[in-house]
Amino acid sequence: GVDRARGPSCRGHRARQEVLRQSPPVRVRGKFFTEFFAGCGIVSKQARALGFSTREWELLRGGDSDLTLPSVRRPIRQMAYRGDILASFLAPPCGSFSLINSSVKRSESDPWGSLPQKTDKARAAITLGNKCMRAAIQIIGWLEKCGVPWVLEHPLSSRAWYLPCFKQLL
């Protein structure tokens, strides 16, 4: 989108220019900011602009970035437990959790979408959305245990906020 005050952005994230001008570069040897389900990586880009090292994982890049695979998440757990991660931003796909997506059946009482779905496409969306959200929840658990600050990006109207783990955190 385009924010007239700040210029073009990806998914609405852009550090304010006055903050970038006023802040001295930050260097933390051996530690880094992580962005999970990074999309185009704009949050990491802004963290780098502030002087932080970053690491990104994006499902669409496949392979070593596919967070739905336990083998990809395992090293992240180790990084968190070693204290390598300064902070994290998680933005799992929200399409199948969105109220706008009328082809997928999720509800406040059934946020995992176990209701029968009408189409194969809806079933695939539920499956992928659940895999991504379960991966995000597992990563959040490690971050919480290690005292690492994190942010989860999802719309306020997302059915994800009705998942038991998030209701408990809230």
Tell me the residue type at 84.
Answer: D
20: three-class secondary structure by DSSP = helix
Give the contacts of 137 (CB within 8 A, at least 6 positions apart): 163, 165
pLDDT at 122 over 90: no
Distance of alpha carbon 91 from alpha carbon 132, whole angstroms: 10
Q: How confident is the model at residue 115 (pLDDT cuts 50, 70, 90)?
A: confident
Distance of alpha carbon 71 from alpha carbon 67, whole angstroms: 8
Give yes or no for a contact between 113 and 104, defined as CB atoms under 8 angstroms apart. yes
Q: What is the pTM of this model?
A: 0.82
Mean pLDDT of 124-141: 95
> The tokens of 43 are what?
């949050």
pLDDT at position 154 = 93
